[in-house]
Chain A
Amino acid sequence: MPKYKYLGKATQKVDALERVTGKAAFGADIHLPGMLHGKVLRSPHPHAIIKAIDYGMALKLEGVKAVVTSKDLPSLEDARASFGGEVSIDQEHLRKLFLAHDKVLFEGHPIAAVAATSLEIAEQALELIKVEYEVLPPVEDAFKAMQPNAPLLHPYLYPKTLGQKPKNPGNVATIMFHERGDAEKGFAEADVVVEESFETAMVHQVYIEPQVDAAQVEEDGKVTLWTANQGIFNVQSQLSSILNIPLGSINVVPMEIGGGFGGKIITYVESLTIMLSQKAGRPVKMVMSREEVFKATGPGSPGYFTIKVGAKKNGKITAAYIKMIHDCGAFPGGPTPMASLVSFGPYNIPSIKVDGYDVVTNKPRVQAYRAPGGTPVNFSVESTMNVLADKLGVDPLKFRMQNYAKEGDYMVNDQRYNRIGVKAVLDRVVSSSHWNTPWEGPNRGRGMALGFWIGAAGTSSALVLINSDGSATGVSGQVDLTGTRTSTQQIIAEELQMPLEKVNVKVGDTDSTPYTMGSFGSRTTYSFGTAVYRASRDALAQMKARAATQLKVNPEDVEYAEGRFWSKKDPEKAVSWNEVARSTITRGEGVVTGRGTVTGLGHAPEFTAQIADVEVDPETGKVYVKRFTAIQDAGLAINPMQVEGQIQGGVTQGIGWGMSEYYYYDKGKLRNASFLDYRMPTSLDVPMIDIEIVEVPASEGPYGVRGVGEVSIVPPPAAIAEAIYRATGVRMNKLPMTPEAVLWAIKTKDKEREPVAANGDS
Chain B
Amino acid sequence: MAKIPLVFKVNGEQQEILVQPYQTLLSALRDELRLTGTKEGCSNGNCGACTVIVNGRTADSCLVLAAEANGAEVTTVEGLSQNGQLHPVQKAFMKYGALQCGFCTPGFLLSAKYLLDSNPNPTEHEIRLAIAGNLCRCTGYDKIVRAIQAVAQAEV
Task: Spell out A's residues near B (CB within 8 Å).
Answer: 10, 12-13, 15-17, 19-26, 28-29, 31, 120, 205-210, 256-259, 261, 287, 289-290, 481-483, 641-642, 644-646, 648-653, 674-676, 680-684, 686, 688-689
Contacts and interface: CB of A to CB of B under 8 A. Distances in A.
Nearest to A15: B102
Given A17-B94, A648-B143, A675-B46, A482 B40 contact: no
Contacts of B127: 683
B128 A683 contact: yes
B10 interface: no
A20 B94 CA distance: 7
Given A258-B39, A290-B44, A675-B135, A26 B103 contact: yes
Given A20-B90, A21-B78, A686 B36 contact: no
In this complex, the member of A24, A646, A680, A681 whose beta carbon has the largest number of chain B beta carbons within 10 angstroms is A24
Contacts of A481: 100-101
B136 A19 contact: no
Given A12-B95, A648-B143, A208 B46 contact: no
B100 A22 contact: no
B19 interface: no
Contacts of A648: 139-143
Given A22-B36, A206-B137, A649-B137, 10 more contacts: A20-B102, A28-B39, A209-B103, A256-B103, A259-B103, A482-B138, A645-B140, A648-B142, A651-B140, A682-B141
B103 A208 contact: yes
A25 B137 contact: no
Interchain residue pairs A-B with the least CB separation, the first 4: A22-B37, A258-B103, A19-B102, A652-B140
A16 B93 contact: yes
A15 B36 CA distance: 17
Contact of B37 (A12, A21, A261): A21
B97 A645 contact: yes
Contacts of A676: 44, 46
Nearest to A677: B46
B49 interface: yes
Contacts of A13: 94, 97, 99
Nearest to A630: B140
Nearest to A23: B37
B4 interface: no
A360 B44 CA distance: 32
Chain B interface mostly: loop
Nearest to A654: B140
Contacts of A652: 139-141
Contact of A683 (B94, B105, B132): B132
Contacts of B145: 683, 688
5 contacts: A13-B94, A120-B20, A290-B42, A674-B46, A680-B135
A28 B93 contact: no
B76 interface: yes
B47 interface: yes
B84 to A, nearest CB: 11
B141 A641 contact: no
A486 to B, nearest CB: 10
A208 B100 contact: no
Interface string B71-103: 000001110110000100010011111011111
Contact of A686 (B20, B34, B80, B141): B141
A645 B143 contact: yes
A19 B105 contact: yes
Contact of B132 (A22, A23, A205, A682): A682
A22 B137 contact: no
A256 B101 CA distance: 8
A17 B80 CA distance: 12
Chain A interface mostly: loop
Contact-residue size bin, chain B (C-beta under 8 Å from the other chain): 35 or more
A24 B100 CA distance: 12
Contacts of B35: 22
Given A13-B99, A258-B103, A676-B46, A653 B137 contact: yes
Contact of B41 (A210, A650, A651, A683): A210
Contact of B97 (A10, A653, A675): A10
A31 B36 CA distance: 10
Interface of B: 20, 22, 30, 34-44, 46-47, 49, 76-78, 80-81, 86, 90, 93-97, 99-106, 109, 127-129, 131-146
A256 to B, nearest CB: 7
Contact of B140 (A120, A210, A686): A686
Nearest to B128: A683
B135 A682 contact: yes
A120 B41 CA distance: 19
A453 B140 CA distance: 20
A483 B100 contact: yes
In this complex, the member of A205, A257, A652 whose beta carbon has the largest number of chain B beta carbons within 10 angstroms is A652
Given A652-B141, A682-B132, A674 B44 contact: yes
A289 B38 CA distance: 16
A686 B141 CA distance: 8
A7 to B, nearest CB: 17
Given A682-B132, A683-B141, A645 B100 contact: yes
Nearest to A207: B137
A29 B144 CA distance: 24
A289 B146 CA distance: 32
B138 A209 contact: no
Contacts of A120: 20, 22
A210 B50 CA distance: 13
Contacts of A642: 97, 100
Contact of B43 (A290, A644, A683): A290
B140 A689 contact: yes
Contacts of B36: 22, 25-26, 28-29
A208 B137 contact: yes
A17 B105 CA distance: 11
Contacts of A684: 128-129, 132
Contacts of B103: 26, 207-209, 256, 258-259
A628 to B, nearest CB: 9
A708 to B, nearest CB: 13
Given A675-B42, A684-B132, A22 B139 contact: no
A25 B36 CA distance: 8
B39 A31 contact: no
In this complex, the member of B39, B76, B145 whose beta carbon has the largest number of chain A beta carbons within 10 angstroms is B39
Nearest to A27: B103
Contacts of B140: 645, 648-652, 681, 686, 689
B144 A21 contact: no
In this complex, the member of A289, A290, A644, A682 whose beta carbon has the largest number of chain B beta carbons within 10 angstroms is A682
Nearest to A26: B103
A256 B104 CA distance: 13
A209 B139 contact: no
Given A12-B94, A208-B137, A689 B100 contact: no
A646 B100 CA distance: 8
Contacts of B80: 20-21
Contacts of A641: 96-97, 143
B100 A21 contact: no
Nearest to A257: B101
Nearest to B107: A208
B77 A21 contact: yes
A645 B138 contact: yes
Nearest to A643: B97
B101 A258 contact: yes
B38 to A, nearest CB: 7
B26 to A, nearest CB: 11
Contacts of A21: 37, 77-78, 80-81, 86, 90
